Every structure is written in structure tokens, then in C-alpha cells.
Amino acid sequence: MEDQLLAFLEFLTNERNYSANTIAAYRNDLSQFMGWLNTNFPEINHWSNISFKVVSEYSDYLKQQSYTASSVARKVAAIKSFFHFLLARGMIDSDPTAKLDSPRVKKRLPQTLAANDVERLLEAPSQKQSPKNLRDAALLNVLYATGMRVTEVVSLKVSDVNLDASVISCPYKDNLVRELPLDEQTQTVVGNYLENGRPHLMKDKTETALFLNHRGKQLTRQGLWLIIKAYAEQAGLGESVTPHTLRHSFAAHRLNSGTELREVQQLLGHANISTTQIYSQLYEEQE
């Protein structure tokens, strides 16, 4: 049974291109399911022997634990995806999860910052003019001005920035590129970083990454998160602010200022407009 689980994880890695964090979540959820099976149904030695009754009992077991509804929904979804994979690959003849209901999860509205709180956060690095602070000022401004995802921001190259045209080219999935406009403030801050900050952080002249860490290498996702956390605390905004908070704030503020929903969808790179509509709901509830 372990072999089929490993085959599924390889499928998610190689064919679905899921991130390491997502793969780890699938592995943990499915390993937990296997552990429960070994304890409660030790006679089961193949995935084809698992019935709807068994997976239904496991779903009930999860609901009785101290998990949140979203955690239970994620664990059930992982199991359903796994059995869909087994059926598609001919490893089982029927899917025991086909009629298994996923727990209903109330969709939480995204957390956003008020405009004045965003301003405080963006100003936090300007207390010093070190190369690191110039980088951080550019980083925060780009995050809020464009609404880019964490991975997109840390993956930017210097060549993606066109200050003369006031745009950043943001490569994302399926080799697509979003042309994202820069406001005057962000254009100035990024230009200052490129001229006075990045050259002092650069150790290798062949390095193409836009945002560099103290070793002169491409800034990592984790490094970006730590930077946001530090400046959020410095600005008195609490520990709950993340890079995605700035993405949410960008979208909500754009819609609130009159930008069309379709345009915000394109700026964010959402495949479906329904994903973008949640930001409209946010402001409808606040009015």
C-alpha cells in the first residue's frame, strides 16, 4: 500500500507540479489515514479492499477530533484525490470515496489592511538607508503595488523591471506573463534600490535575481515572510500580517477605488473571476 502512496506523491510532484509544502501536506494526511487503517482495520492489505463504510468512518473520526472544519475538509479531499488517482491508474476497480461528502467550510474573507496601515508598513524600512532597507522598501512597495504572489516576487529578475515604461513583467503559470503597472512611488523606490542597494548586496555579477539576500543570492520565500513579519511588528500591525495580506489589500483597495473586477482578476492572475469576487464581498459587508 505504501508503494501506491509513493506513486501518488510522485504524480503530484512530476505531473501536477505541486509545491513541496503541498506535497508534504498530502503525505501527512494520507499517512495519518494509513495509520488509522492499521489500527482499526489491520486485515486490510490493499486499497481495493477499502469500502465506502471504512472511509465514511474515518471521516466521522476526523470530525470528532479537535481539528478545524477546514483541516477536516483538507484531509478528506486528500483521500478523495488519492482514490481518484488509484482508479484512473487501474489500481482499484471502484472509488469508495465517490459518494463521500466533503465537510462544508465557511469561506473566510481575506484579511486586509486599512490604507493608513499599509502606508505605515511601507514607510517602516525608510528609517535607515542601508542596502538591506532599500531592498525591503522596494520589496514591500512592489508587493502592494502589484498584488503579486510570494513565489512570483522572489522569482523576479532584474530584466523583468522596466522603469521607463513603469511596468514589471510577472511570469506565472503555463509560461504566461502579466504586465503589472508601477505607481510613481514604487517606480522611485525600486529605482533607488537598483542604483544604491542591490549593487552592495550583489556578490556575483552574473546573478539575475531582482531581490537578493545578504549572501547575494535570490531571496527565498521564507526570507520574504520574515521580512514582512519584522516590519509589521515594527509598524505595530501585529503578527498576523503576511505577504498575502498585501496581495489581499491590493485587490480590495483597487475594487474599492472603482477598478473593474475583470481588470483586478487580470492583475492578480486569477484563472476564474469567482476567486476575485470575494474581494467585492469583503467591501459589501463593510458598507
Tell me the catalytic residues. 149, 173, 244, 247, 270, 279
Rounded-to-5 percentages of helix, strand, coil across the chain: 60, 5, 30
Rounded CA-CA distance 6/2 in Å is 6
Dihedral of alpha carbons 180, 155, 119, 197, sign: negative
Q: E strands within the chain?
A: 161-162, 167-171, 177-181
Which position has the grid cell 483597487?
254
Rounded CA-CA distance 30/24 in Å is 10
Q: Which three cell numbers stand for residue 17?
A: 507540479
Q: Which three cell numbers stand for residue 33?
A: 489515514
Q: Which three cell numbers stand for residue 284?
A: 459589501
Q: Are 111 and 240 in contact (CB under 8 A)?
A: yes
Q: What is residue 157's three-state secondary structure?
A: strand
CB-neighbour burial class of residue 64 (10 A; exposed 0-12, middle 13-18, buried 19+): exposed
Which position has the grid cell 478528506?
76
CA dihedral 111, 112, 118, 122 (to 10 degrees): 50
Q: Which three cell numbers stand for residue 99?
A: 459518494
Q: What is residue 170's three-state secondary structure?
A: strand
